Amino acid sequence: MPTMPRPRLILGLLIVMTLVVPATRAAAAGVRVSIACGALGVELALCREAAEEWAQQTGNSVSIVNTPNSSSDRFSLYVQLLASRSPEIDVLQIDVVWPGMLGSHLLDLGPAFADRVPGMFPALTDNNTVDGRLVAIPWYVDAGVLYYRRDLLEKHGIAPPQSWDEMTRAAGTIQTRERAAGQSGLWGFVFQGKPYEGLTCDALEWIASWGGGSFVDADGDITVNNPLAATALRRAASWIGTIAPRGVLNYDEESARGVFQTGNAVFMRNWPYAWALAQGEDSPVRGRVGVIALPKGGPDGRHAGTLGGWQLAVSRYSRHPQAATDLVRHLTSARIQKMRAIRGAYNPTIMALYHDPEILAANPFFEALLPSFVEAIPRPARQTGAHYNQVSAAIWRTVHAVLSGSTDAPEGLEQLQQSLDRIRHRARW
Ligand code: GLC
């Protein structure tokens, strides 16, 4: 892990806002705990509210640190802070693919959460266990889903698509007809096409949906160079400039949501958080959106959503590990997860909450799509351990080159196979 000489400076540059929430009660413990929360959609506001509640209940105070939206940028920030053993952030919100890369810098939360673990999705607690240590507590789980404009599909007599062929045709037909009728800015499909972690997630969905595997198999063998993966990428490349704007090559989650939520796209690939915002009071598409599983590839294909999600971890370099652990207990409790599910569409990590009528009323698709969450496809983070980031960067670079038209799919996959072989050889996984 590279060392970073000036973490304070970097933090100052990257953190958009730092909020100090003072304790109102006479401080019992009186320590200040800082937590780095995500800031996508309403994430930051919900994190702040729950952390403030904890501060008031315990007599401590919290600093809320806003981190970059791109998970790749957030990862770089954490690497710099942790490699320099900075005590500046006590609690870190970490991605589901990071435990193997960051685990050695994080405390073992197993003993403090022994009572909670049995109620959580085992796949997540297993994922967060590195060398027998539970280095992070699952906070919310993500899986890629397909959003569609229910009103437009109904208007044109088109059923929600089950396969990528159907989605491509429906997007093209509605885009052509609506443009002819005056909605000149309408596009068929938006997704995450920028070269970053989000593109690795989208590409995994395309490839797995065609039966082309998940880049690296469970034994660590590299499987990406196969004809079904080529078909999947060729199909995705065909969307650029036809049903998807060329600008999608620089879209992350929020850019895609911006286009969809302003009524300028028929379909969108995104995570569940976009539901709460699309249904928000001020959303132009409120009441006109449906959510279904991502389409299948060819005849042997399947609905495939990438497994995502975020965890809370305590830094080994924290000066207040007990208070920080207590804050994580508060934030990951059933009550706070329920509040976040209702107000932000963040999928709980506690299984029993999927039977909660208020949560299901706020997010009708949670129940129907539960299999998509339970069977979501993991990225090859466990097999590649500390090298996952290099693997993912090689994937997103290749996929971006294929989407942009600078490489064709078979050639790109051949090169990707070679790059991954080289990483594997050096890493000896
Ligand atoms: C979402 C997912 C996360 C993924 C990221 C990619 O935040 O929860 O797992 O890495 O998107 O952009």
Q: What is the pLDDT of residues 38-64, one digit of tens each?
A: 988 899 999 999 999 999 999 999 999
205 lines ligand 1 (CB under 6 A): no
201 lines ligand 1 (CB under 6 A): yes
197 lines ligand 1 (CB under 6 A): yes
Percent of the chain with pLDDT strictly greater than 90: 89
How far away, in angstroms, is 56 Cα from ligand 1 center? 31
pLDDT at 191 over 90: yes
Report d(CA 131, CA 103) in Å as an integer. 9
Report d(CA 302, CA 58) in Å as an integer. 48
What pLDDT is stored for residue 48 in this prediction? Answer: 97
Domains, the chain, in order of start with CATH, read 8-135+307-374 (3.40.190.10), 145-306+379-427 (3.40.190.10)
pLDDT at 117 over 60: yes
Which of 93, 94, 121, 197 most suits a substitution to test ligand 1, by most atoms within 8 Å of the C-beta? 197
SS3 assignment, position 355: helix
| Confidence tier at 110 by pLDDT (50, 70, 90) | very high
Report d(CA 85, CA 233) in Å as an integer. 41
**For residues 408-428, average pLDDT:** 97
Closest of 259, 245, 271 to residue 347, by C-alpha: 271
Contact 101, 386 (CB under 8 A): yes
The pairing of beta strand 18-21 with beta strand 61-66: antiparallel
What pLDDT is stored for residue 217 in this prediction? Answer: 96
**For residues 299-325, average pLDDT:** 96
Query: Closest Cα to atom 1, ligand 1: which residue?
Result: 308
Query: Closest Cα to atom 9, ligand 1: which residue?
Result: 308
Q: Which of 20-29, 117-126, 291-300, 387-396 has the lowest mean pLDDT?
A: 20-29
Of residues 6 and 208, the one with the higher pLDDT is: 208
**For residues 104-111, average pLDDT:** 98
How far away, in angstroms, is 158 Cα from ligand 1 center? 30
Query: Closest Cα to atom 11, ligand 1: which residue?
Result: 198
Report d(CA 363, CA 275) in Å as an integer. 8
Residue at 72: amino acid letter: S
**For residues 401-420, average pLDDT:** 98
How far away, in angstroms, is 330 Cα from ligand 1 center? 23
pLDDT at 371 over 90: no
Query: Closest Cα to atom 4, ligand 1: which residue?
Result: 308
What pLDDT is stored for residue 18 in this prediction? Answer: 44
| Confidence tier at 20 by pLDDT (50, 70, 90) | very low
**For residues 102-111, average pLDDT:** 98
What pLDDT is stored for residue 8 in this prediction? Answer: 47
Report d(CA 377, CA 389) in Å as an integer. 17
| Confidence tier at 372 by pLDDT (50, 70, 90) | confident
How far away, in angstroms, is 138 Cα from ligand 1 center? 14
**For residues 105-133, average pLDDT:** 97
Report d(CA 148, CA 116) in Å as an integer. 36
95 lines ligand 1 (CB under 6 A): yes
What pLDDT is stored for residue 5 in this prediction? Answer: 38
**For residues 231-248, average pLDDT:** 98
Q: Which of 65-69, 123-127, 314-318, 360-364 has the lowest mean pLDDT?
A: 65-69
**DSSP letter assigned to residue 195:** S
Which of 95, 97, 124, 307 most suits a substitution to test ligand 1, by most atoms within 8 Å of the C-beta? 95
Entry field: residues in the chain:
429
How far away, in angstroms, is 95 Cα from ligand 1 center? 7
| Confidence tier at 238 by pLDDT (50, 70, 90) | very high
Average pLDDT, the chain: 93
**For residues 163-179, average pLDDT:** 98
What is the number of the ligand 1 atom nearest to the C-alpha of 38? 7
50 lines ligand 1 (CB under 6 A): no
| Confidence tier at 9 by pLDDT (50, 70, 90) | very low
Task: Copy the structure tokens of residue 422.
Answer: 């080289």
pLDDT at 89 over 90: yes
**For residues 266-279, average pLDDT:** 97
Closest of 314, 325, 353 to residue 140, by C-alpha: 353
What is the number of the ligand 1 atom nearest to the C-alpha of 70? 12
What pLDDT is stored for residue 26 in this prediction? Answer: 35
94 lines ligand 1 (CB under 6 A): no
Termini Cα distance of the chain: 17
What pLDDT is stored for residue 383 in this prediction? Answer: 93
pLDDT at 133 over 90: yes
Query: Closest Cα to atom 3, ligand 1: which residue?
Result: 308
Q: Which of 24-28, 66-70, 180-184, 396-400 has the lowest mean pLDDT?
A: 24-28
260 lines ligand 1 (CB under 6 A): no
Percent of the chain with pLDDT strictly greater than 70: 93
What pLDDT is stored for residue 28 in this prediction? Answer: 47
What is the number of the ligand 1 atom nearest to the C-alpha of 140? 8
138 lines ligand 1 (CB under 6 A): no
**Strand ordering across the sheet containing 187-190:** 187-190, 265-270, 145-149, 289-292
What pLDDT is stored for residue 374 in this prediction? Answer: 87
What is the model's pTM? 0.93
Contact 365, 275 (CB under 8 A): yes
